[in-house]
Amino acid sequence: MQVDFNLNGQPVSADVEPRTTLADCVRDHFGQTGTHLACEHGVCGACTVLVNGEAVRSCLLLAVQVQDDKVVTIEGLSGDELTPLQAAFRKHHALQCGFCTPGFITTAHALLSHEPEADEDRIRDVLSGNLCRCSGYIPIIEAVLEARSSYRDPGSK
């Protein structure tokens, strides 16, 4: 079955079985392997992508469901230089094995894009939907708190 959507700013097309998840589609059909699979049942958040600007679990979406939608993965949020959010993760040592990291960065980006004034409680609340086994979360929260300023000033994302 064919599905047409926008992936990281580019119009794309894939011929997939209906049962192919969006996660598997971006990873296998489009080679964007930054989106990771850690549970495949919608609990861990490692597979988080943006669909029409909203953070969603790509293992709980079928590829065919994003017809005409705008999908952004961690690759679409990355460039030659680290973004302020990514630099903050590095500065605060908010990753160790790195496997959950794309999911956290994508989720934090969505949150701060919509709510640049989010306070620590709100950040913790939202990030409680992403599992990390290495960091104990505290450095991640610190990184996201630091990154807020770059979302408040629209020029510096």
Interacting positions 76-95 with other proteins (CB under 8 A): 78, 82, 86, 89-91, 93, 95
User: For residue 70, what is the enclosing H or E element?
Assistant: strand 70-72
Contacts to other proteins from residues 114-153, by CB under 8 A = 124-141
Judged by beta carbon, residue 12 or residue 129, the one nearer other proteins is 129
Work out how close the CB of 8 gets to other proteins at its nearest, in angstroms, rounded to a whole number.
11
State the amino acid at position 137 in one-letter form.
Answer: Y
Distance from the first to the final alpha carbon of the chain:
37
Q: Give 12 or 131: the residue with its C-beta nearer to other proteins.
A: 131
Q: Does 97 sit near other proteins (CB under 8 A)?
A: yes
- Please report, as residue ranges, which positions from 8 to 37 form the binding site for other proteins (by CB under 8 A): 17-21, 24, 27, 32-37
* Per-position DSSP letters for 95-147, written without gaps between them: -SS-SSHHHHHHHHHHHHHH-TT--HHHHHHHHTTS--SSS-SHHHHHHHHHH
